[in-house]
Amino acid sequence: MKRIKIKALLSSPLLGSDVLVKGWVRTKRGNKNIVFITLNDGSTINNIQVVVDAGSFDENLLKDISTGACIAVNGKLIKSQGQGQNIEINATTIELYGKSDAETYPLQKKGHSMEFLRENSHLRFRTNTFGAVFRIRHAMAFAIHKYFNDKGFFYLHTPIITGSDCEGAGEMFHVTTMDLKNMPHNEGGSVDFRNDFFGKETNLTVSGQLEGELGALALGDIYTFGPTFRAENSNTPRHLAEFWMIEPEMAFYDLTDNMDLAEEFVKYLIRYALDNCREDMEFLNNMIDKALLERLKFVLENEFVRITYTEAVTILTASGKKWDYMVGWGRDLQAEHERYLVEEHFKRPVILTDYPKEIKAFYMKQNDDGKTVRAMDVLFPGIGEIIGGSQREEQYDRLLARIKEMKLPEKDLWWYLDTRKFGTAPHSGFGLGFERLILFVTGMSNIRDVIPFPRTPKNAEF
């Protein structure tokens, strides 16, 4: 007999038919005569109740069916006599695949703290919350590919090991095959990488953007979606040392096109989650964040506010608020400022544009005022910056001048500069932190709980 997934079983139940389900026991209760097993197989947040006539089964088998055990149940699908569910399975045979010692199995029937479950990341998939989160995470990954594919974007695989440290996005993890206890040094005292695997210093990528631009300036519209690495000692609920990023890069897009795409893209993903992950979303709305669905619908129904950095500074100055950090043109906006704009002043997502060039990356297109660049940050309530992007500087001379001004290693960027030398084109792009999107969509509050195996300072277990 062929196994049926619980999701399929529940969506079109054939009452009276014999079915075979396989899954993990959530709870078991009952007495000498009748036993109820709540079974979940991960296909859906919903469980199927298995009813067992205790007299017709081996006592020891029933004893071994404890929370966490894995079983296969063959039985008849019937209308439930009880209250909590419509259908249930009247067990004919039960095969025990794997026992789960009740004394040592970490997960109880009752709830656990997020911190405890994080220490048990190998088992937390078996909880309702993490089942929901990771099903939604999958759906979002799928929707990202669908959105871009439908729009004619090409998925470009940019390298994970990189030989350049030019993006300036953060501290990098070194990649080497050399003996760490016996690193060769050259006369100046610095490490000699000439005999290393790549013959030069290499790192894990902090962004695929620069390579993405190379693709866009030939294929038109591309996107990357892959892991990125930052060796920053960031200890916050919004940062990971290893996280996934989506970076579209589009030829012939100006900053407005870029903003339009970013807004449409994020709204598409939110709508996809609401339309396709309904039960998981409702569970999270009930158990994790009562305002989740309402907030997501609000974001869908309202346009993002678009203002310039200069306008934001004016608003912040005029607010009369006492800030921990000073507001002033030329200073970067702090979390408290961004939060005020998003959560108090506008009460909706905000896109800030045209930042002072001094606080932004070298590749951003310089405005004619000589002071600002065509940057955009999309700010979300509760999360802060979810997207950072810009129109890129396509003029060779200006880009080179900026590289020199910022004392970046010009010779390492020869391939990047070549795109401006040969058939340059206006283009734009942005980066979306995948886990930050998942945070927003699920209502979870710690980024470590929306990636299966979080990598953070002092933590690489599992």
Taking the complex as a whole, the smallest distance from the CB of residue 75 to RNA amounts, in Å, to 12
Closest separation between CB of residue 235 and RNA, Å?
A: 3
Interacting residues with RNA between 297 and 316 (CB under 7 A):
none
CB 2, min distance to RNA, A: 25
Nearest to RNA of 113, 182 (CB atom): 113
Q: Which of residues 392-431 bind RNA (CB under 7 A)?
A: 431
Consecutive H or E run containing 270? helix 255-276
Residue 124 found at the interface with RNA (CB under 7 A): no
CB of 345 to RNA, least distance (A): 16
Q: Which residue, 150, 165, 156, is CA-closest to 218?
A: 156
The 10 Å Cβ neighbour count of residue 204 is: 19
352 Cβ contact partners less than 8 Å away, ≥ 6 residues apart: 307, 308, 309, 312, 333, 341, 376, 377, 379
Q: Interface with RNA by CB under 7 A: which range of 10-18, 147-155, 232-240, 344-352? A: 232-240
> What tokens does 370 get?
């000589």
337: three-class secondary structure by DSSP: helix
State CA 179 to chain mean position distance.
34
Picking from 231, 228, 204, 256, the residue whose alpha carbon sits closest to that of residue 389 is 256
- Tell me the C-alpha distance between 146 and 151, whole Å: 8
Q: Minimal distance in Å, beta carbon 239 to RNA?
A: 4
Q: Are 270 and 276 in contact (CB under 8 A)?
A: no
Q: Give whichever of 61 and 218 is closer to RNA, judged by the CB atom.
A: 61
Nearest to 112 by CA among 130, 94, 86: 130
Of the candidates 66, 176, 310, 319, which one interacts with RNA according to CB under 7 A?
66
Of 111 and 409, CB closest to RNA: 111
Sheet holding 202-204, edge to edge: 161-162, 202-204, 174-175
Q: Which residue has the tokens 């911190």?
A: 115
> Considering the complex, what minimum distance in angstroms separates the CB of residue 187 from RNA?
31
Provide the 3-class DSSP secondary structure of residue 38.
strand
262 dihedral zone (left: phi>0; alpha: psi -120 to 50; beta):
alpha
Site for RNA in 364-393 (CB under 7 A): 384-388
Number of residues counted as binding RNA (CB under 7 A): 72
459 near RNA, rule: CB under 7 A:
yes
Residues 18-57 as x/- pattern, contact with RNA by CB under 7 A: ---------x-xxxxxx-x-x----------x-x------
* Residue 190 is a binding residue for RNA (CB under 7 A): no
Nearer to RNA, 48 or 193 (CB): 48
Comparison of 156 and 245: residue with beta carbon closer to RNA: 245
Contact letters (x/-) for RNA, 319-338, by CB under 7 A?
------x------x-xxx--
Give residues 144-173 in contact with RNA (rule: CB under 7 A): 169-170
Q: Which of residues 271-300 bind RNA (CB under 7 A)?
A: none
Binding segment toward RNA, per CB under 7 A, in 4-12, 129-137, 215-223, 445-453: 445-453
